Amino acid sequence: MRKKITVVGAGRVGETTAHILAKKALGDIVLVDIVPNLAAGKALDLMELRPIDDSDITITGTSGFEETAGSDVVVVTSGMPRKPGESREDLLRKNIGIVKPVSEQVMKYSPNAFLVVVANPLDTMTWVARKVTGWPKNRVFGMAGILDTARLRCFIAMELGVSVKDVQAFVLGGHGDEMVPGEVRLRGRHSDREAHVEGEDRRDRQADPGRGRRDRQAPGVLGLLLAGGGGGRDGPGDPEGREARRPVLGLPRR
């Protein structure tokens, strides 16, 4: 019997979450949103993608929680997005008013589920969900770190001109400007102080004699991170915030 997964919120994050779950065929999916017909329409779009994704799972959309009953996993993506100039803390009161009733419905219809919270400010919203449900800590999670880790790896790869596959890194802390970088490795080389990128092979260096010199001139990864700033903004409508946080290091391009 397939697992049942509920995604609360049919915005961009919720829709993308549902698509990834469907593509990996991790379980039948119920997409929920309070906007009438929004979840149903997006669920139909995702159902039509199944032949392309080679998946036979079922995706349904609804504006109520009755169809979510008996879910094994519930992912809460609902919440107000930030407006220009707002911090994640500014969302606190608004999103408590969303996450609290959602958690009550999850507890009512899927009392044995695992609950994954994505709404911001993440740490507080996860605490609210656990407080409302009273569930043990191993059943209530906050999804944090993967987005910022992906951004960090992407920016390092962009600035050093290497494949993202060659960059391993992670970020610690709540999703926001207070996150800190953990260990960074470039092709297995420990790089918390010096970003040294080894050449692809002997032929690369022969074709480009200046490559090794430019690699050695790359600044320390910690300097790169500090220059890049903290976590990015969420969702659409934030070109200024994301661009402001993009590392601009003046590194020589390959």
Q: How far apart are CA 231 and CA 6, in angstroms?
A: 27
What is the DSSP secondary-structure string of 51-111?
HHHT----EEEESSSGGGTT-SEEEE--SPPPPTT--GGGGHHHHHHHHHHHHHHHHHH-T
Structure tokens at 119: 């709404």
Q: How far apart are CA 115 and CA 6, in angstroms?
A: 10
Could you give the 3-state DSSP secondary structure of residue 215? helix
Residue 243 near residue 205, CB atoms below 8 Å: no
Residues forming a β-bridge with 74: 6, 115
* Residues near 20 by beta carbon (within 8 Å), at least 6 away in sequence: none
Nearest 5°: phi and psi at 239?
Answer: -65, -35
Catalytic machinery residues: 175
